[in-house]
Amino acid sequence: MKQIYEGVFAEGKNLFTINMIPGKKVYDEKLIRENNTELRSWDPERSKLAASLLNGQKIMPIKKGSKVLYLGASTGTTPSHVSDIVGRTGIIYAVEFAERVFRNLMVLCEARKNIAPIFADARKTEDYDFIEQCDVVYVDIADPQETEITIRNANVFLKESGHVFIAVKSQSIDVTKQPQQVYKEEADKLRKHGFEIMEIIDLEPHEEKHAMIMARK
């Protein structure tokens, strides 16, 4: 097994992170031991960030000590792996608005103290304006205004030269257009607001009609 990014390991087409809470699973991932270290398998069918990494993402700005604003945290599958990566010196501000999944997120956060759950609407940055400036804004919201929501949050919370990730579901934005056209148009919106596009990674076959757009402020 080799380290491919800080805190991310690979064996063939399988990804792993070091389990911050040894012995505890978050979903149905496998736990394995190597060199007295417990690792958690990271399923690209359940995590768009894992799919992006497997599909050739070149830059990984999330690392030990990073501060991450995560919009659309859901039950915490991907945030749990980000939690492993940033470690005890980092923090994830996990914003979720669906009450049912937020309850599951709260359970996760009881064990993982570097995830701060925030029950809020990502459109209303004033509802969580107490958080600090972050290194990364990560957005996974199935909303036609996802890119606009990302820009609004990045303008408030992202450090200068910080990065944004947008997991774009083309069908949530415009079902009449080809996915590649949607990805280009969303990237163009970011450019018009002063962001530099770093990468656009198609997430097929792990996520149908999805792409990850990474940009820098």
Verdict on whether the full-model pTM lies above 0.85: yes
The phi, psi pair for 75, rounded to 5°, reads -80, -10
Question: Cα separation of 64 and 90, whole Å?
Answer: 6
Joined tokens for residue 4: 């491919």
Domain ranges of the chain: 43-216
> Measuring CA to CA, how many Å separate 7 from each of 54, 153, 180, 197?
15, 26, 31, 24
Among 162, 169, 71, which residue's Cα sits nearest to residue 123?
A: 71
Q: Where are the beta strands (DSSP E) in the chain?
A: 2-5, 8-11, 14-18, 31-34, 37-42, 67-71, 91-96, 115-119, 134-139, 158-169, 196-202, 210-216
According to DSSP H, which parts of the chain are helical?
48-54, 77-86, 99-111, 146-157, 170-173, 179-192
Residue carrying structure tokens 């205004």: 145
pLDDT by position in tens, the chain (length 217): 899 999 999 999 999 999 999 999 999 999 999 989 999 999 999 999 999 999 999 999 999 999 999 999 999 999 999 999 999 999 999 999 999 999 999 999 999 999 999 999 999 999 999 999 999 999 999 899 999 999 999 999 999 999 999 999 999 999 999 999 999 999 999 999 999 999 999 999 999 999 999 999 9
Homologous superfamily in CATH for domain 43-216: Vaccinia Virus protein VP39 (3.40.50.150)
SS3 119: strand
